[in-house]
Structure 1
Amino acid sequence: MTETAVSPAPQPTAAAPAGPRDTPAVPSRSRASGGRLRALDGLRLVAALMVAAYHYGGRGGDVTTAWGSSPKDQFPTLHEYFAYGCLGVQIFFVISGFVICMSGWGRPLRSFFASRASRLLPAYWAAVLLVTAAFALPVVVYDAVSPSDALVNLTMLQQPLGVDRVLGVCWTLWVEIRFYALFALFVVMPGASRQRVILFCALWILAAAIAEGANEPLLDLVLMPEYAPFFVGGVGLYLVHRDRKDAYAWGIVGVSWLIGQHYAVQDLWHAPSADAFSHRTSFGIILIVTLGFAAVAAIALGLLDWANWRRLTVAGALTYPFYLVHEHLGWVVIHALHRGLGVGSAGTFALTIAAMLLLAWLLNRYVEETLTPKIRAALSRVR
């Protein structure tokens, strides 16, 4: 979710001397645009827009206050489709598995940590401060978290500490952080190689299945059975990107898809009910999960190299700050436009998306571009 789609030339590491199968030459397609997989940038924004559609029109709860009535009333037909937008998170996790494996290959642990921290923190800190300040305004109908909880939120550890969240979407960052830690510990630190990555994928899937069967909270916390298949599937697809004939990589992708769709259906399907906001069918859930895997696979295989527009790079840059701010600040904008100014539902939806994209651009331009290189340099400095 949070990494740019740049494909570095893989290198064998001193810790893991590699044979030909370990470091196959990255196909020339990955260098078609200076090493950037622009289609992956575009897919990330698509996933973020799916999540935004869910938060604005695909669920009940706090967004009802913004609209003045349930989104079911605002979008009598579309709300059923918007409800599937939450699956954008699973697509994000597949993309993250692909990109973290790509960016972590051949990189020392210090550099990997510096890259992750400098990429995540600037926009996140700005989003926490913006949402806290906005919710503290008397005209905003939502309550701000306490000052103490807001400060804890700056650490990104509010979830395990049981602190109120400033950003509703930050639970996914806690999932991402645990994935980064596992990947750093078992792949980056010893040195990435094809065999080590395959072993990591196999052991994580097996351990996650054991954790599910054991019903042990600590194992669930560390191994994340419901999300592991999506990250592992993305890692497998990066191996496919390196060598499309790698049977082990395709096996990892296939098993991950089979298990991932199971968890998606288990978590998001419910029986039809007049009292429910909407009904997600098992077919619809499986279809979207499959399309997410297929889209990343198409990028891995070079089938979307024609999508090489520079604007997709901008889309990738906007995705993370947009994802952070769109939910809560979007509700503030919806309330102001729809209930304050009387703008229609469709117009409010479109203008809110546009406003959040503009805010994301400002955060990228004036926060990320300023702080990211400084944080990366400070954390990368050898003492």
Structure 2
Amino acid sequence: MMTERRSGNRLAALDGLRLLAALMVVFYHYVALARPWGRATDTIFPTAHMAAQYGWLGVEVFFLISGYVICMSVWGRTVGEFAVSRLSRLFPAYWAGILLTTVMVKTWPEAASLRSWDTVITNLTMLQGGNNTPDVDPVYWTLFVELKFYLITVVVMLFGVTYRNCLILCGVWTAAAALVPVLKTPLITEFAMPQYAPFFIAGIAFSLMRRHRPNAILWTIVILQVLLAQRYIGDRLAINLGEAAAAALPTWPARFIIVAAFALVGAIALGACDRIRWKWLTTAGALTYPLYLIHMNIGITLIHHYRDRISAPVLVAAVTALMLATAWLIHRLVERPLGRRLRTTLRRGVDDVRRHVTPHRGRAPRTAPHTPTGRDPGVAEDVPGTAEDDRATAHTRTFESV
């Protein structure tokens, strides 16, 4: 019989890893890209430029963490509860990010531009990735990937969140992602997400290790995902840096970062980081989602505007610090108060729907038996960059979110 593993406090460890992933992405955009500087950055940052070219892998780390924490958080929850937690967590900071980015780009349209107000309005839905509407900020593409993962999660919830069904998901998703190049079916390609599936799937396997215990099946799933993740490294390099630059770059640093990320999440899953309880990491982790949302177009515009007046290293440090401070303000003044109100409103809506649903349709989804230890108190519900305590359930300390 499987025994359920109790969590220590690994919230700080997850926050720390998420913060590191967010800063990797910021480092990549500010130091590796030519766009804010108007020229190649290898002469501006001769050494840092080499490392920064691999910073885009922070997004893959977000997806790995997301698979882990979302799987942990859905046990014992209904679809309605999951939807409320996601919507109330994602949208307040996202709307603030769109507003600030739009104001910046309209005020200083020197490094980025907006085609029309229709683009801004459509972006407010977070569904622009599904109807070919440009993103207000290029980093928003990852949110649509996350939304597709949530939809896959909802399908599993409808069948019941059980150990067996999670393993079936891992197997079916792995097969679909691996066969995409041969099948060439648009719908399967869209939802199998072969470039990112290995990270989500490995995260799910790690969460099962944490919830129950490691075994040969789960380790086989993880190792298979590590190998499959290597398949698209060249493609991701080409997308982020261009084919010529990608061809000239060694791939081993990217492979090392991927393996290291798997090892770190595995260490968290197996309890090696349970003793990390630094409170400042929890605060820092709360900034990752708003930081991710606002850092690119706003930060690049600031760098572009002041690049001839301030030395490059100082400018990058100053803009990064400003983005962190702005992210903290968004977290305190927008995420927390608006998130609470939105959560309360949505819960009332869900309760109203339940009251009006006929009894035979009102049955709760089949889930694993709920126990007092059924939800891991240190688990984070993750998207690229979010970190916050979900106070929806008093006895649960989840934080929801690349």
Change (3 A) 1:55 1:279: farther
Deviation at 1:45, TM superposition (A): 0.7
Change (3 A) 1:45 1:273: closer
User: Over aligned residues, Cα RMSD in angstroms?
Assistant: 2.1
Q: 1:230-379 maps to which residues of 2 (within 5 A)? A: 230-268=199-237, 276=245, 279-339=248-308, 342-379=309-346
Matched, 1:52 2:26: yes
Q: Is the 8 A contact 2:4 2:213 kept in 1?
A: no
Q: Is the 8 A contact 1:261 1:286 kept in 2?
A: yes
Deviations along 1:71-129, one digit per CA (max 9) or x if unpaired, are: 22211221111000011111110000001001111111100011111111111111011
Matched, 1:105 2:75: yes
Change (3 A) 1:139 1:112: closer
What is the TM-score of this pair, normalised by structure 1? 0.86
Deviations along 1:165-212, one digit per CA (max 9) or x if unpaired, are: 1011011111110001001112x2222111111111111111222223
Supply the distance in 2 between the matched residues of 1:118 and 1:334 (Cα, whole angstroms).
32
Q: Is the 8 A contact 1:47 1:91 kept in 2?
A: yes
Deviation at 1:141, TM superposition (A): 4.7
Supply the distance in 1 between the matched residues of 2:287 and 2:320 (Cα, whole angstroms).
12
Supply the distance in 2 between the matched residues of 1:229 and 1:92 (Cα, whole angstroms).
12
Q: 1:1-383 maps to which residues of 2 (within 5 A)? A: 20-21=1-2, 24-27=3-6, 30=7, 32-33=8-9, 37-60=11-34, 62-63=35-36, 67-138=37-108, 140-186=110-156, 188-268=157-237, 276=245, 279-339=248-308, 342-381=309-348, 382-383=351-352
Query: Which shifted more, 39-48 or 220-229?
Result: 220-229
Query: Which shifted more, 229-238 or 67-76?
Result: 67-76
Give the total of aligned pairs: 349
Secondary structure of residue in 2 paired with 1:85? coil
Deviation at 1:222, TM superposition (A): 1.7
Amino acid corresponding to residue 303 of structure 1 in structure 2: A
Deviations along 1:233-265, one digit per CA (max 9) or x if unpaired, are: 111111111233322221211111110122224
Supply the distance in 2 between the matched residues of 1:256 and 1:194 (Cα, whole angstroms).
19
Unpaired segments of 5 or more residues in structure 1? 1-19
What is the TM-score of this pair, normalised by structure 2? 0.82
Change (3 A) 1:219 1:355: same
Secondary structure of residue in 1 paired with 2:245? coil
Query: Which shifted more, 89-98 or 272-281?
Result: 272-281
Identity of aligned residues (%): 40
Q: Is the 8 A contact 1:74 1:345 kept in 2?
A: yes
Supply the distance in 1 between the matched residues of 2:127 and 2:207 (Cα, whole angstroms).
29
Secondary structure of residue in 1 paired with 2:43? helix
Q: Is the 8 A contact 2:238 2:245 kept in 1?
A: no
Supply the distance in 2 between the matched residues of 1:305 and 1:262 (Cα, whole angstroms).
33
Q: Is the 8 A contact 1:80 1:278 kept in 2?
A: no
Unpaired segments of 5 or more residues in structure 2? 353-402
Supply the distance in 1 between the matched residues of 2:79 and 2:243 (Cα, whole angstroms).
52
Q: Is the 8 A contact 1:131 1:329 kept in 2?
A: yes
**Higher RCO, 1 vs 2 (CA within 8 Å, ≥6 residues apart):** 2
Q: Is the 8 A contact 1:109 1:189 kept in 2?
A: yes
Query: Which shifted more, 71-80 or 40-49?
Result: 71-80
Supply the distance in 2 between the matched residues of 1:275 and 1:286 (Cα, whole angstroms).
19
Secondary structure of residue in 1 paired with 2:83? helix
Supply the distance in 2 between the matched residues of 1:293 and 1:277 (Cα, whole angstroms).
23
Secondary structure of residue in 1 paired with 2:249? coil
